[in-house]
Amino acid sequence: MPAAKIILSPKIFLFAVSLCCLLTGTGLTVFGQELSGSSGEAVKALGRIRQINAGVLSVGYVESGPADGPAVILLHGWPYDIYSFSAVAPILARKGFRVITPYLRGFGSTVFLSDRTFRNGQQSALAVDVIELMNALHIRKAVIGGFDWGARTADIVAALWPERCIALVSVSGYLIGSQETGGKPLLPGAEQAWWYQFYFATERGKAGYEANRKAMAKLIWQNASPRWKFSDSAFNLSARSFENKDHVSIVIHNYRWRIGAAKGERRYTGLEKRLKDFPVVSVPAITIEGDDNAAPHPDPETYARKFTGKYMHRTVLGGIGHNLPSEAPEAFAQAVSDAYMMAQ
Q: What is the CATH number of the domain that holds 150?
A: 3.40.50.1820
pLDDT class of 134 with cuts at 50, 70, 90: very high
Is the confidence at residue 17, as pLDDT, over 50? no
pLDDT of 3 above 90: no
Phi, psi torsion values for 129, nearest 5 degrees: -55, -40
User: With 0-12 CB in 10 A as exposed, 13-18 as middle and 19+ as buried, what is 190?
Assistant: exposed
Range of the domain at 86: 5-342
- pLDDT value at position 51? 99
What gap in Å lies between CA 88 and CA 81, rounded to an integer?
13
Distance spanning both ends of the chain, measured CA to CA: 35
Partners of residue 330 on adjacent β-strands: none
CA dihedral for 139, 83, 129, 158, sign (positive or negative): positive
| Residue 16 pLDDT | 35
Q: Dmax over Cα atoms in the chain, in whole Å?
A: 54
| 325 pLDDT more than 60 | yes
Q: How confident is the model at residue 75 (pLDDT cuts 50, 70, 90)?
A: very high
pLDDT for 300: 94
Q: How confident is the model at residue 147 (pLDDT cuts 50, 70, 90)?
A: very high
Q: What is the pLDDT of residues 211-248, one digit of tens each?
A: 999 999 999 999 999 999 999 999 999 999 999 999 99
Q: Per-residue pLDDT for 9 more than 90?
A: no
244-258 pLDDT, tens digit each: 999 999 999 999 999
Which of 7-11, 244-248, 336-340 has the weakest average pLDDT?
A: 7-11
For the chain, how big is the Rg over CA atoms in Å? 18
If one counts the domains in the chain, the total is 1
